[in-house]
Amino acid sequence: MPGVFSKRSFEGYLEIDHRDSPGISQELSDRESSGNFRPIPAEGGKKLQLITKRCSHCPRIVIMRPERTRARGYCPKCDGFVCDDCELKRVITGVCRPWKQIIDEWYDAAAKGQVPKIILP
Amino acid sequence: MARRILAMTTQTTLTATADTTNLVNGSYPYALQGSSSTQLTNIWEVSIAGQAASSSSPTFMLLSYDSTIGTGAQTQGTGGTDIATNPATAALGSVVGVGSVFATILPQRSATGHLLNCSLNAFGGVYFWRANRVEECMTMLGNTASLGSMSLSAFTGGTTGLIGCHTIYETL
Is A99 contained in some domain? yes
Look at residues B136, B120, B34, B21 and name the one whose alpha carbon lies nearest to residue A28: B120
B123 Cβ under 8 Å from any chain A Cβ: yes
Which of A24, A40, A48 is best to mutate for the B interface (most B CBs within 10 A)? A24
Please indicate, yes or no, whether residues A74 and A102 belong to a single structural domain of this protein: yes
- Pair (A83, A119) in one structural domain: yes
pLDDT tens profile B48-69: 999 999 999 999 999 999 999 9
* Together in a domain, A31 and A74: no
How many structural domains are present in chain A? 2
Give the pLDDT of residue A59. 87
Nearest to A61 among B19, B65, B138 (CB): B138
Query: Which run of H or of E encompasses A99?
Result: helix A99-111
Cis ω for the linkage preceding B146 (within 30 of 0): yes
Tell me A79's DSSP state: T
pLDDT tens, residue by residue, A2-43: 678 788 888 999 999 999 999 999 999 999 998 888 999 999
pLDDT for res B1: 66
Within 8 A of A25 by CB-CB distance, chain B residues are: none
Cβ-defined contact of B132 to A11 (cutoff 8 Å): yes
Maximum separation of any 2 CA atoms in chain A, in Å: 55
For residue A47, tell me if it sits in a domain: yes
Interface predicted TM-score of the whole assembly (ipTM), two decimals: 0.93
Distances (CA, A) of B143 to A69, A92, A116, B132: 39, 32, 11, 26
Q: Please judge whether B124 and A20 are an interchain contact, meaning their C-beta atoms are less than 8 angstroms apart.
A: yes
Residues of chain B contacting residue A6, judged by C-beta atoms under 8 Å apart? none
Query: Is the Cβ pair A15, B58 closer than 8 Å?
Result: no
**Facing residues of A49 across strands?**
A15
Residue A92 sits in which domain range? 70-121
Condensed to tens digits (0 to 9), the pLDDT of residues B4-13 reads: 999 999 999 9
